[in-house]
Structures are given as structure tokens and as C-alpha cells.
Amino acid sequence: MSFNGLQDYIKALDAHHELQRINAFVNPVLEIAEVADRMVKNNGKALLFENTGTDFPLLINAFASDKRMAMAIGRDTIEEAGEEITSLFNSFGGEKGFFKKLATAPQMLRLIQIAPHRVRGRGTCQEVIMPAPDLSKLPVLKCWPYDGDRFVTLPLVHTRHPETMKTNLGMYRMQVMAPDTTGMHWHRHKTGARHFEAWKENKGGRMPVTVTLGGDPVYTYAATAPMPENMDEYLLAGFLRKRRVRLVRCLTNDLWVPEDSDFVIEGYVDTSEKPVVEGPFGDHTGFYSLADLYPLFHVTCITHRKNAVYPATIVGVPPMEDAWIGKTTEKIFAAPIKMAIAPEITDLHMPAEGVAHNLVLVTIDKKYPGQGMKVLGALFGAGQMMFSKYIVVLDKNVRTDDYKAVLVEILRNVKMWSDTLRLNGPLDVLDHSSNTFSFGGKLGIDATTKMPEELAGRPARLSVSNSSAGMTGTAFPDTRTFEIENHTITILPVKDESNMFDIDSLISSLPECYSSEGSIVVVMDKKARDLKPEVLLWLALSNTDPVRDMFTLREGGIVINACSKWGVVPEFPREWPNIVCSDMDTIKKVDEKWDSYGIGQLPASPSLMLNVLVSAGGASVNPKLQKTN
């Protein structure tokens, strides 16, 4: 099923009781984000804010459930799309057969029938032309207190390579700088950034860029999908909607965009222009991504449908709306990953607490010794999987969404000195834990059941750290302890903001019991002690560099330094970002106005629990440091 713009999708959401309308005025500055955060974390419906102080309503949380995500990609379930892709790959005989048979006439015909199609004339997206481009006419959100300004959060950014003429559809946040300019936050690893560098090197001058908003919601999903470079994202959109995407030419540049978009923002990036300071921004990691230099996008024209709806999302401490988008990607791209990288893979899952790139859980059909390590090596070098920080490989009978079962398998089958793969490599640019920007430690864990050959070659014990040699037996009264599979996992909340913290000194002062095999100590900030386990997991994954922060003690005990890395010995060389939370004034305002929204019982703000983690200092906790990037 396809949708003709967001109004069409809204009608479907209404018909399936997946939408709540809010008629009262809700401010796009902080207030809408606080309402949306409460709803998404309480399994709430999509929200249509009909009074935004502009001429346009705003749709948010449109993807934040399995049902809504399936509707957005035109299926009854998200698994259905994955099954179709798997069936397609299998019918072609895997990766090699896929590309070989794609070259034959019948398969090329199938491809042409879903390929995007350029049409003459103007599209519905060009019904109204703004007399002068003015982004202040749109209900652009400011999501979190320390955000640099308002941000367009669901932009579909169209670019083209200057030589190959290949186009790309990406999603890069846009900070509004003026009525006709924004930042263009494309990371160094993204195709948009590569197109920009190619324009700078080959042509120079103005690089055409067009941003669309809305249209068929499948376009938004396609912009986030990990498509191979030079493969058109609208080909995926056509496959999912079972109908080719109709493209129209922009009015002030020569890019082509879906004719059923809700908004079209045309313009350019000048490759000879100095970059501008963009950010901070409360990001999907749950931390602020800090101010940095990015290109300036100049708006030359804004057009829209007569009944246009402005789409938005918020990101922050998980789970957020992007968790369901990520889940869909798992299902759709499982077959290509399996066929192209490791055929033994039976399942792949990225828990929300891992914010897409911090934790990947994989199951395999293991047939020979060393196969788990083989898969780890393949995954760490595969496409966007190269940004993964922790990857765990498990037996095929383990459910990757049963996190307790996953932990049991790790504790049962893993010796840290023989069943792990530690390396340094590329990280997502939003990772804040590594000493160096976008580069740091990774850990692969082979948690499969070990075969006799693997057990025979495994050392009985390996001393990795001498820090335990001088243990003094200091008592730690505020610990939290979990007993699982003959292992003791201890949360040790010791770091505070008043003293410098030295992990080596701490390890030296641990009681002897923490050194023994079966003991795992997770060292955290004091203020994190009473948080829910899933929040502790998110925090530990976010704050650790596996190579730097994991210690195997003399007798086999493990210490993980999951503290924040500011105020430590030796001094952390980068700025450390703050936690993303609403401020108390916004929380109070939303509490007082909740009944006027007409969307049910008042839920507590998720930020109330998380505010204990917030430090003074704005988006950056230690802004005096100079960034290394």
C-alpha cells in the first residue's frame, strides 16, 4: 500500500485508532518534545498537533510502534517485508545469483517496474510557492534545553555526485540559522558528505541540495536505510510500496524529488564557503552531540502541498521513535547481510539500549570450531556494521530479544582472555567515549557453545592486569549485586563530581573476592546507582571504550569502568557531553497543561528519573577542553 502525502497516512492512522489529535496550542519550543517523549516511552499513539502557532499541523511519533511502522512501509507486519526480501534473495540463489539473474531481461523488467519515474510538469508538492523562502513559517522544533536552536529532524536530503551523477537520499539534521539558511549535519562517513567533497574537488562553487519533508512515509524510512552506495533509495521505496515513486524537477535547481512530498526546500551548499558552528543537539545516543563545524545550506525556494503536514521526530535517551525504525531495518536487511557477509547468521538484533551502533546481537548456525570468531571478523568489516562497538555472537537457539538469556549465554560460554576479539577501528562520530574522535576500541564476544577443539586450545587463565596485586580490601557499602549463573555482577557506584577518579587506584583497593573468576564489577557514577537495569546497560555501553575500560584481574575477575570520563586520571582528552533531559520548567508546564491536550491520563516525565544524571555546565560538562576533531 502507498500513501499520497501525510494527510493520507493520517487518515489510515485514524482508521486504525493509532492517532491522537491535540487541538490546544502546544509550543514547538521544548513543549512538543516533552509531550512526545512521555507518549513514546509509554507506548502512546502518533500525535497530530493541530495548533502549532503556524499554518501547518505537526505529526510526531508516527513510527513509534510495530503496527505504525508496518503501516508506513505498506505491510501488515514489519516481518512481512523481511520475508519478501529473503524470498527474493533465495530465489536468485543468494548474493551472486541475485546480481547475475538481475542482468537477465525478466529480472530487469521487474526492477524497472519499481524504479523511480521522472514526470513532466509540477507535482502536488509544488501547489504553493512561498513568495520568499522563510523557515520560520514552519513549526520547527527545539527539542531539548541545550540545543543550539530549532532543528529540522526528519529531513530527506537529496544530493548528486558531480561526476557519476548518482543521487543519494540521506537524513541529516538541519539547525535553522536564519529564515533562509540551516546547518547541514552530514557526518564524514555519509554519502552526502562524500558528494560534498567531490563537488569541492571537481567543480567547486554551489552544490545543489534539496530537502523534502513528508510524502509517503516510506520515503522517510528509505532515507534511513543502509543501502549500498550508488543504489537509489527510491528503488527500495518502490519495492516496499509496490508502486514506483514519481519524481518532479525542482524549480531552482536540477534535482528531482517525489511529487507527493508535503514540503520541498530547495537550495545549495557553497563548497567555497567556510563551515559554520552547528549544534549542540540532544541526539539519539541520549547525550548531546556537541557544537562543531558543518556546511551552511542556503534555501532558494520553499514549496508545499495545499494541505501539507510537517513531520518531526525527537531523539534522546532510548527508547525513542528511532528504535522501531531500527527494528525494521533488522528485518529487511537480514537477508542481504546473511547472503553477502556470513551465511551462517540466523538472526541479528540491535537492542534499543545500544542506540544502533553500540551493541549488536547475532545468532549463527555453528558447524565448526572458530566459526564465532570468523563471524565477528566479518561483521566488524562490513558496511555500516564497521561502526559497531560491541558485537556478541550466540548459538542459533538463543532469542536475541531475551536479554537475560543472552547474558546467561555470555556468562556460561565466555572466557574474556580467550573468547573475545579486541581491536581498534572506526566508530560512529557520535560516540563520545573514545579518546579520539570517531576512532576507538571495539569488543567482539564469541558466546557460542565451545567445541572440543576450542576448549583444548583455550588457556586456563590469563593475567591481563597487575592492578589487583596490591588489593587492600576497602569496603564499598553502596553496591548493587546480581547473582546469575554462578557469577556475581556488582554495580559499584563510586565516582562523583567532587574528586578526581583513578580506575587503577580503585582496582588496587578492591577486596580480594572481586578478583576471582566469576566476579564482574561495573564501576559507575554514584548518581546512577538506583536506575533501572536497562538504563544502566545504556549508560555502560555509551560510556565505555572496550579496549581502554575493561580489565581482567589476576584470578579471572573482570572490572568494567563505565563511569563518565571527565574528572578522571589521566585527564580525558575530549569534551564530555551531558545527558539529554527536559528542564524542570518545561516538565512543570506540560504537567499543568496536560488536561488541555485531551490525550488521556497524565504520565510522569521520563526526564524526572534521568535528571539525576544531568551535570552542570550545559551541553558539555567540561567545555574548557579543546576537541580533538
Q: Which three cell numbers stand for residue 26?
A: 502546544
DSSP 494-515: EE-SSS-B-HHHHHHTS-GGGG
Check residue 161 and report its DSSP letter: -
Given the residues 283, 446, 545, 549, the one annotated as active site: 283
What is the rounded distance in angstroms from the CA atom of residue 348 to the CA atom of residue 401?
10
- Whether residue 216 contacts residue 123, with contact meaning beta carbons closer than 8 Å, is answered with no
What is the rounded distance in angstroms from the CA atom of residue 379 to the CA atom of residue 444?
10
Secondary structure of 195-220 as H, E, C letters: HHHHHHHHCCCEEEEEEEECCCHHHH
The answer to whether the bond into 606 is cis (omega within 30° of 0) is: no
- Whether residue 66 contacts residue 77, with contact meaning beta carbons closer than 8 Å, is answered with yes
The answer to whether the bond into 570 is cis (omega within 30° of 0) is: yes
CA 435 to chain centre: 21
- Whether residue 448 contacts residue 397, with contact meaning beta carbons closer than 8 Å, is answered with no
Beta bridge partners of 438: none
- Whether residue 471 contacts residue 511, with contact meaning beta carbons closer than 8 Å, is answered with yes
Q: Which three cell numbers stand for residue 464?
A: 591481563
- Strands 390-395 vs 359-364: parallel, antiparallel or unpaired: parallel
Give start and end residues of each alpha helix (H) in 558-621. Answer: 584-597, 606-610
Beta bridge partners of 111: none
For the chain, give the number of residues.
Answer: 629
- Whether residue 416 contacts residue 527, with contact meaning beta carbons closer than 8 Å, is answered with no
Confirm whether 283 is a catalytic residue. yes
C-alpha distance from residue 389 to each of 91, 334, 354, 444 (Å): 34, 19, 9, 8
C-alpha distance from residue 103 to each of 99, 196, 483 (Å): 7, 31, 57
Query: Residues near 464 by Cβ (< 8 Å), separated by ≥ 6?
Result: 416, 417, 551, 552, 553
Report helix, strand or coil for 532: coil
Q: Which three cell numbers stand for residue 63?
A: 513510527
Q: 434's torsion region: left (phi>0), alpha (psi -120 to 50) or beta?
A: beta
What is the rounded distance in angstroms from the CA atom of residue 549 to the CA atom of residue 562?
7
The answer to whether the bond into 133 is cis (omega within 30° of 0) is: no
What is the rounded distance in angstroms from the CA atom of residue 629 to the CA atom of residue 143?
26
Active site residues: 283
